[in-house]
């Protein structure tokens, strides 16, 4: 039987279809591959059709042999910064356009262990530097709600793929908002876990103290299932956490949200457009209907967050990306005259404009005479912001803001000024500085476009975010809105 | 942990000489067309970043990482075998099992 797709389809319902024999993993995978083939979203950089079908057939055999793993045989997609052994891993860059990793990232190997079927690698901003997917060497992914608008970034391909019905779930990564912004712009749910919750091994580095892997899906319960598979200590990543994780089942998600306290940092919302404000307030009201209470809070140092974030992210990027020298892997220029020429031309020809810009900002922040004034200063601000959050969480369980300052904007120049573009991360980058878990949930549409409600919790309290997201999606249908022409 | 004191506020002025120094440190070069746009963008970005100098961070130690994890010691034992050939596969140019670069010493 040909599988059908609708907004109410969850990973659990797909698993049930497979379990009772309504469909097979091979049929399901073939159906998604066909949708990818017909798509105009440019959501994938690499589609691994043959491998996917082989994995699906193997999953069908395992299921027939009695294997009941909950995610067995379900298709999914990986952001193209997770290393996949034997398959291209480009990180959206010319620098890695031909790079085939010799090993799997832990995120990839854990998905394989769970029996998930990888459809391919999704489009992204180059080295995850961007919030519109426009810096990808492979051209931008498009938003299924309006092909001329951005799906957000940097995990724009992952969000476009899920919103466009090309995959039911996708992995993603978040350095300053790269899971949450695309989720919000595409009407989806995206969760960035606590720093260290999911291993970064094999995840190509942008800014190592800020990077975190996570998931984009339509339903909160799908995110929970994926986290059950991905979370856990990994000896390959020294920052991987061993804090306990209780598998989040439907019983966990159904626990009451009655009495949870929401903090709203009103001062951050003053510049918000009226229709975005209305969407946010409607989301907040829905949470109150669940028995949650709301108080205004003060995050005194949050206003320095986006500047401090850009200093630290750029500094770490300039250091991390120094490994691309044209020798061991990555792009190498033709006919280098000498070693310096090899370094300079390989990097100049291999990196795109935005990446070069951020490397230069980072080089500036780390260079002699400026390091104390920029890099260390930004780290001190980071401490103030972290302490701000710690104080706030003495009195509240969740901190709520919108995910973005506007709904998805048009590609090719609506935001020409890079500083305005950087402000897109104003609400989200704070959580990366403090290492907090956070989730973007679909909120009421703004100008007929998706918009997100952003919830942050104290470290390792992903369960509170999942419970809240699940409850909200039981009493609202914002996550069930789909772009025109989506039904199978 | 290093404690940092008050700063003399630095106002950004990206002079061509400094720009060229940054390009050298980052091992990048740039076309004349890109140079104009990049210097403009960098100046605006650095102006945005400059707002950090208004933050009161006297005696506030830097926070390098949000990690709550204490680095773990592990047994001093070989736990992984490195497949040299597999790791060298992504290199563009190899010579007799070594990474090849232009001649450094004449």
Please name the residue ranges forming H helices in A292-375. 305-320, 339-350, 353-366, 371
Does the beta-carbon distance from B29 to A348 stay under 8 Å?
yes
User: What per-residue confidence (pLDDT) applies to B1?
Assistant: 32
Phi-psi bin for A448: left (phi > 0), alpha (psi -120 to 50), beta?
Answer: left
Q: DSSP per residue over A35-66, as a string? A: HHHH--S--EEEE-HHHHHHHHHHHHHHHHTT
Q: Which residues of B touch A306 (CB under 8 A)?
A: 48
pLDDT (0 to 100) of residue B4? 37
Cβ within 8 Å of residue A323, ≥6 positions away: none
Backbone φ, ψ for residue A278 (5° rounding): -65, -40
Q: How confident is the model at residue A2 (pLDDT cuts 50, 70, 90)?
A: low
How many angstroms separate the CA atoms of B73 and A139, rounded?
Answer: 44
**Residue A486: what pLDDT?**
67
* Closest listed residue to residue A151, CA positions, set A449, A405, A458, A387: A449
Nearest by CB to residue B64, choosing from A327, A367, A379, is: A379
Is residue A401's pLDDT more than 60?
yes
**What is the model's pLDDT at position B11?**
54
d(CA B45, CA A354): 12
Burial A96-121 (b: 16+ CB within 10 A, else e): bbebebbbbbbbbbbbeebbbbbbbb
* pLDDT recorded at residue B105: 80
Q: Where are the beta strands (DSSP E) in chain B?
A: 94-95, 98-99
Exactly one of A15, A154, A318, A346 is catalytic; name it.
A154
A158 is catalytic: no
Residue burial A392-415, b: 16+ Cβ < 10 Å; e: rest: bbeebbbbbbbbbbbbbbebeeeb
**Confidence class of residue B69 from pLDDT cuts 50, 70 and 90?**
confident
- Angle, helices A220-230 vs A106-113, to 10°: value is 100
Chain A: give the shortest CA distance to residue B62, in Å: 4
Q: Kindly state the average pLDDT of the residues A380-406.
A: 98
Residue B7 clears pLDDT 50, i.e. is over it: no
Nearest-by-CA chain A residue for B39 = A357
CA distance A221 to A218: 9
The whole-angstrom separation of Cα A250 and Cα B31 is 57
CA-CA distance, A205 to A320, in Å (whole number)? 7
Task: Determine the pLDDT at residue B14.
Answer: 82
pLDDT at residue A26 greater than cutoff 50? yes
Pick from A109-123, A392-406, B37-51: least confident: B37-51
Q: Between these two residues, A421 and A117, which has the higher pLDDT value?
A: A117
Nearest CA-CA partner of A397 in A467, A460, A456: A456
Tell me the longest C-alpha to C-alpha distance in chain A.
69
Maximum C-alpha span of chain B? 57
Q: Mark A13-23 as b/e (b = at least 16 C-beta within 10 Å).
A: bbbebbeeeeb
- Identify the band that residue B8 occupies on the pLDDT scale cut at 50, 70 and 90: very low
Coil, strand or helix at A288: helix
Shortest distance between the Cα of B20 and any Cα of chain A, in A, equals 10
Interfacial A residues in 437-476 facing B (CB < 8 Å): 459
What CA–CA distance (Å, rounded) separates A106 from A349?
A: 31
Query: What is the reported pLDDT for A7?
Result: 85
Q: How far is CA A79 from CA A15, A202, A215, A222, in A?
A: 23, 12, 10, 17
Q: What is this model's ipTM?
A: 0.91
pLDDT higher than 70, residue B3: no
**How many angstroms away from the CA of A72 is the closest CA of chain B?**
29
Is the pLDDT score of A234 beyond 50?
yes
Q: Report pLDDT for A339.
A: 96
Q: Is A178 a catalytic residue?
A: yes
What pLDDT, on a 0 to 100 scale, did the predictor assign at position B9? 46
Residue in A109, A118, A178, A346 annotated catalytic: A178
Can you give the pLDDT at residue B79? 83
pLDDT for A138: 98
Distance separating alpha carbons of residues B85 and B88, to the nearest angstrom:
5
What's the confidence (pLDDT) of residue A8? Answer: 87
């Amino acid at each position: 039987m040909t599988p059908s797709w609708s907004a109410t389809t969850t990973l659990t319902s797909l698993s049930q279809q497979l379990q009772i024999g309504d469909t097979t993993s091979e049929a399901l995978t073939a159906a998604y591959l066909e949708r990818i083939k017909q798509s105009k979203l440019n959501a994938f950089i690499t589609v691994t059709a043959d491998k996917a079908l082989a994995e699906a057939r193997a999953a069908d055999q395992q299921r027939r042999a009695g294997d009941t793993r909950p995610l067995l045989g379900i298709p999914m997609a990986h952001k193209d910064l997770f290393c996949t052994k034997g398959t291209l891993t480009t990180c959206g860059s010319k620098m890695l356009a031909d790079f085939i990793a010799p090993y799997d990232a832990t995120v990839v190997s854990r998905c394989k262990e769970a029996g998930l079927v990888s459809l391919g690698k999704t489009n992204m901003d180059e080295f995850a530097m961007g919030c519109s997917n426009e810096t990808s060497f492979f051209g931008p992914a498009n938003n299924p709600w309006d092909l001329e608008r951005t799906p957000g970034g940097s995990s724009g391909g992952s969000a476009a793929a899920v919103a466009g019905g090309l995959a039911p779930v996708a992995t993603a990564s978040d350095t300053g908002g790269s899971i949450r912004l695309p989720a919000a712009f595409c009407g989806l749910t995206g969760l960035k876990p606590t720093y260290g919750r999911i291993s970064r091994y094999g995840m190509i580095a942008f800014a190592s103290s800020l990077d975190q892997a996570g998931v984009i899906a339509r339903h909160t319960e799908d995110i929970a299932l994926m986290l059950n598979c991905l979370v856990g200590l990994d000896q390959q990543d020294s920052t991987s956490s061993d804090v306990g994780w209780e598998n989040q089942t439907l019983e966990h998600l159904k626990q009451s949200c009655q009495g949870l306290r929401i903090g709203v940092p009103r001062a951050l919302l003053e510049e918000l457009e009226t229709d975005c404000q209305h969407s946010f307030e409607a989301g907040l009201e829905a949470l109150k209907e669940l028995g949650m209470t709301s108080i205004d809070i003060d995050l005194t140092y949050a206003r320095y967050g986006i500047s401090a974030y850009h200093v630290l992210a750029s500094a770490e990027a300039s250091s991390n990306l120094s490994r691309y020298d044209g020798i061991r892997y990555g792009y190498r220029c033709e006919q280098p005259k000498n070693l310096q020429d090899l370094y300079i031309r390989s990097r100049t020809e291999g990196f795109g404009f935005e990446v070069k810009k951020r490397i230069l900002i980072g080089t500036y922040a780390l260079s002699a005479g400026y390091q104390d004034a920029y890099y260390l200063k930004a780290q001190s601000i980071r401490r103030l912001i972290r302490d701000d959050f710690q104080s706030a969480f003495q009195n509240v369980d969740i901190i709520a803001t919108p995910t973005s300052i506007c709904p998805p904007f048009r590609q090719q120049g609506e935001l020409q000024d890079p500083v305005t573009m950087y402000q897109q991360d104003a609400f989200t980058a704070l959580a990366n500085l403090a290492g907090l878990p956070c989730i973007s949930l679909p909120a009421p549409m703004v100008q007929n476009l998706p918009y997100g409600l952003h919830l942050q919790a104290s470290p390792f309290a992903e369960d509170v975010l999942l419970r809240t997201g699940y409850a909200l999606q039981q009493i609202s249908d914002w996550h069930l809105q789909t772009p025109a022409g989506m039904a199978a | 942990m290093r404690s940092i004191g008050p700063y003399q506020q630095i106002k950004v002025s990206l002079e061509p000489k400094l720009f060229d120094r940054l390009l050298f440190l980052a091992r990048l070069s740039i076309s004349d067309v890109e140079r104009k746009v990049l210097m403009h963008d960098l100046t605006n970005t650095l102006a945005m970043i400059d707002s950090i100098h208004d933050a009161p961070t006297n005696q506030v130690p830097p926070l390098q990482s949000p990690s709550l994890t204490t680095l773990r010691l592990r047994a001093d034992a070989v736990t992984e075998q490195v497949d040299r050939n597999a790791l060298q596969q992504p290199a563009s140019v190899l010579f007799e099992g070594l990474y090849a670069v232009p001649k450094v010493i004449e």
